[in-house]
Structure formats: C-alpha cells, structure tokens
Amino acid sequence: MTTITTTRQNGKRKGKPDLGFATKAIHAGQRPDPTTGAISLPIYQTTTYAQEAVGVNKGFTYSRTGNPTVSALEENLAVLEKGVGAACFSSGLSAITALFSLLSNGDHAIIGNVVYGGTPRLADNIFSRFGIKFSYVDTADVDAVKSEIKGNTKLILIETPANPTLKLSDIQALSEIKGEVKLVVDNTFYTPAIQIPIDLGADIVIHSTTKYIEGHNTTIGGAIVTKSKKDLEDLKYIQNAAGSIAAPFNSWLTIRGLKTLDLRMKKHSENALAIAEYLESHPKVSKVLYPGLSSFPQAALARKQHHSVHGGMLSFELKGGVKAGLKFASSLSLISLAENLGAVETMVTHPATMTHAAMSRKSRLAAGITDGLIRVSVGLEDVDDVISDLDQAIKKATT
Ligand SMILES: Cc1ncc(COP(=O)(O)O)c(C=O)c1O
C-alpha cells in the first residue's frame, strides 16, 4: 500500500539531523493536498476508489484495507514511535485484539498484573477459549517475568506506568531477558513524547489513541507500531481480515490532536507535578503516587526511562479511606468524575468501583489498588483552578 509521506516530512532527512519531536508530530505523514494545496489533510470519507484498469490503482482500493487519512495517521505514529510502520484500529481494544490474533492455539502470553481491565477481560474470556494461555506477573519484577517465560511464550505485554498504581516496569531490563519473546508496551499513558519503548528494546507498541494521542475526549481509537516489517505485515493482514481499521474522520481528529502532543504532554506533566506537590503537603492526604515526586518509590527509574517529564496521571488516597474517597468524588465541581483519561479536561476516577470493579477485591489489594485510591487525569486548565476544586472537595470529604 502506498503512503502519502514525503522524505522531507517523515523525519529522516538524508545527510541532515533528525527533526525534533514536536516538528515530527506536526509534519510526519502530512503534506498539503496535491489538488488544492489545503494545508490540512482532507478527510477521505470514501468507501472505495475508482481504478484505472484491472489491477491499476493509486494504492487504495477499499477503505477496510486502506484509506489515505488513516495511512497519514499511521505514518505519523510510526515516525513518532520510531517503528517501521503502524496499523490503526477502531479502538485500543481492537488493537489489542489484533495483537492477540498473532497467537495460535497452545501459545502463552505474559501480561502485567496491573493493566487496563479490558485487557485481561479480552484474554481470559475470549482468547483463552481458543487455547491461548495467559499468565499475570508483576512486570516491575524482572526476575519474576524471566521465570515465567516458557518454551511456548510468544509475548510479554506491559503497561508502564501501571494504571492506577503508577508502578513502573523497566523496559530496557525486560528487553535484555526476553530472548525471542516479543516485548509489547502499551504506551497509552505516556506516549512517545515521554518514552519511546522501541528505543529501549521493545518490539511492538500499542496505543489507545482515545487518550493522550487524540487528547480531546472526542474519539475512540487504537494503534500498533512495530519494529519489524514481518510483524507489521501480519498486523496489517489482521486489520483487513478482521475488519477493525480506524475510521477516516476519527483518524483526522487524531492527526489534529497529535499536532499539539508535545505541548500538551509538557503542560499535563507540569500541572500534575504541581498538584502532586499540593496533595503531598495536605494534612488529610495519606498517600500520593506520582513518578515525578522524589518520594516516588521508583523515582530513579522514572528519571532514567522518561524524557524529563512524567505525565499527567497521579493517584492519591485520603485519610478516611473509601468513605472519604467517594464523598470527595461526588463533591467536585470543575473536575469531572469520569472513566476516561488523557484529555484536556481534568477527570478523576475511583478505580475500586469504576475502572477496576471487575477485579476481585483480593487481587485489587494485592496489586496495590486500595479501596480509597483516587486516580486523577490532570488536564490543561489553569492549575490553580484545579487545585482549588480539589481543595474544596477534600474539605467536604474529610470534615
Ligand atoms: C492503557 C490502556 N490500554 C488500552 C485501553 C483500551 O482502549 P479503548 O478504550 O480505546 O478501547 C485503555 C482504555 O482505557 C487503556 O487505559
């Protein structure tokens, strides 16, 4: 399939230094429309493409197989994540479905024990019915992962940071012990603006583009970027055969979101650090988890693995546990209580009753997801306004 990339725009310029991240986020895979000069890539809202003769076409035949707007998004993400190419899907979960579709009956996959709840639901309730085995391991513990690798293990899927505990896994250390097993990183929380897993030895990167990549709470989408051409070919085959390609309009909105990714991730991180520091000094707060705090248990790994900032996600617990947590969540005014994360609006979640309600209490507690834990996806508002909303809700919840 052809892409609509030019050498000038794909970030690799012959004999010249690589373009900066913000430049690539704006230009990679993009060019002015050749017919009109429109600087914003058109939404190719078409099902099919007229062919000049049998077998003669401009690289596109049917939009389940390929669409110029979707291809432009794929090219952009491939450049940002430093892969050979990308495949974009209708949701993050359809991207993970495509990933698991690389496996066959009898294969085994290792998944982090604290990942987005939809991932084990898909593995245990659907793919395990086809004879694929899954085991769940604390991927922050490299030796535990190493000892779980068996002859039939084909992939290791990790999230770093984990949701909502923010626990980090060392991508480089895992890449050194994985042998032939593919290391897959779900990079939804940090995006390539903060960490580039392929640079650290990962084979495949997954995104729910629904979150920071699109960034504005307006689309559901997913993507996979690969280091190897063979994995890309296999995933493109699955994208077409399973019919799970992203839609052109959603891809266009996602391309628009990507143009400000670098700025947004810096501001999300700046706001999150200020809020984490405010919460840490609050007498009614018993615990704050944010990788940018020097009190964070893996602060050294955070500094090694991240590009100088540590993202917009943090978790905290109020003195008063679950009762105070629930009262806090319903006392907010500017901030929304919502399932999603990674957008311009600040949102909070109570994982025990919302995003992680499907887990048993025992496994939740074992994974560090305590009953009173509150997750905050810090947005791009003026941080003082967010802090004053948090402040009034904490007061209401703890007095
Ligand atoms: C880390 C992570 N991966 C994947 C998904 C699934 O993505 P989607 O909701 O776009 O299907 C989510 C959703 O919350 C997520 O948080």
β-pair type (204-208, 182-186): parallel
| Continuous H helices in 12-111 | 21-27, 68-80, 92-100
Q: Which three-class secondary structure state does DSSP give residue 231?
A: helix
CA dihedral angle for residue 194, residue 136, residue 228, residue 22, rounded to 10 degrees: -10
The residue from 207, 229, 258 where one domain ends is 258
Tell the burial category of 344 from Cβ atoms under 10 Å away from its Cβ (0-12, 13-18, 19+): middle
Ligand 1 atom 15, closest CA: 116
Tabulate helix, strand, coil % of the chain (nearest 5). 35, 15, 45
Q: How confident is the model at residue 141 (pLDDT cuts 50, 70, 90)?
A: very high
- 135 in the same domain as 73: yes
- Residue 206 belongs to some domain of the structure: yes
What is the dihedral sign for C-alpha 76, 80, 86, 89?
negative
- 226 in the same domain as 337: no
- Residue 14 belongs to some domain of the structure: no
Nearest of 377, 367, 173, 120 to residue 268 by alpha carbon: 377
Please tell me the distance from the alpha carbon of residue 231 to that of residue 190, in angstroms, as a whole number.
23
The residue from 206, 225, 258 where one domain ends is 258
What are the backbone dihedrals phi and psi of residue 274, each rounded to the nearest 5 degrees, phi first?
-60, -40
Q: Are 209 and 92 in contact (CB under 8 A)?
A: yes
What is the pTM for the complete model shown?
0.94
Cβ 214 under 6 angstroms from ligand 1: no
- 234 in the same domain as 200: yes
- Residue 158 belongs to some domain of the structure: yes
Radius of gyration over every alpha carbon of the chain, rounded to an integer in angstroms:
21
- Residue 354 belongs to some domain of the structure: yes
Cis bond before residue 164 (omega within 30° of 0): yes
Q: Which residues, including other chains, have CB under 8 Å from residue 380's CB and lie 6 or more apart? A: 264, 267, 268, 271, 344
Q: Which three-class secondary structure state does DSSP give residue 341?
A: coil
Give one DSSP letter per residue of 349-363, joined into a string: E-TTTTTTTTS-HHH
Q: How confident is the model at residue 8 (pLDDT cuts 50, 70, 90)?
A: very low
Q: Please count the structural domains in the chain.
A: 2
Say what the pLDDT of residue 388 is.
98
- 224 in the same domain as 100: yes
Ligand 1 atom 3, closest CA: 208
Q: Which of 44, 116, 136, 190 is catalytic?
A: 116
- Residue 124 belongs to some domain of the structure: yes
- 393 in the same domain as 314: yes
Element (H, E) at 187: none
Say what the pLDDT of residue 16 is.
64
- 271 in the same domain as 251: no
- 342 in the same domain as 208: no
- 252 in the same domain as 114: yes
- 176 in the same domain as 35: yes
Tally of residues, the chain: 399
- 189 in the same domain as 134: yes
- Residue 3 belongs to some domain of the structure: no
Q: Which residues, including other chains, have CB under 8 Å from residue 152's CB and lie 6 or more apart? A: 106, 107, 108, 133
The residue from 258, 276, 309 where one domain ends is 258
Return the ligand 1 atom nearest residue 339 CA. Answer: 14
Q: How confident is the model at residue 256 (pLDDT cuts 50, 70, 90)?
A: very high
How many angstroms separate the first and last alpha carbons of the chain? Answer: 62
Instruction: For 266-290, write each residue's pLDDT tens digit.
Output: 999 999 999 999 999 999 999 999 9
Instruction: For 216-246, write each residue's pLDDT tens digit.
Output: 999 999 999 999 999 999 999 999 999 999 9
- 236 in the same domain as 269: no
Say what the pLDDT of residue 278 is.
98
CATH number at residue 60: 3.40.640.10
CATH number at residue 297: 3.90.1150.10
Range of the domain at 344: 263-398
Return the ligand 1 atom nearest residue 93 CA. Answer: 11
**Among all chains, which residue has been given the structure tokens 């068996």?**
150
Ligand 1 atom 2, closest CA: 116
- 287 in the same domain as 244: no
Say what the pLDDT of residue 337 is.
95
- Residue 4 belongs to some domain of the structure: no
Quick one: DSSP state of residue 307?
Answer: S
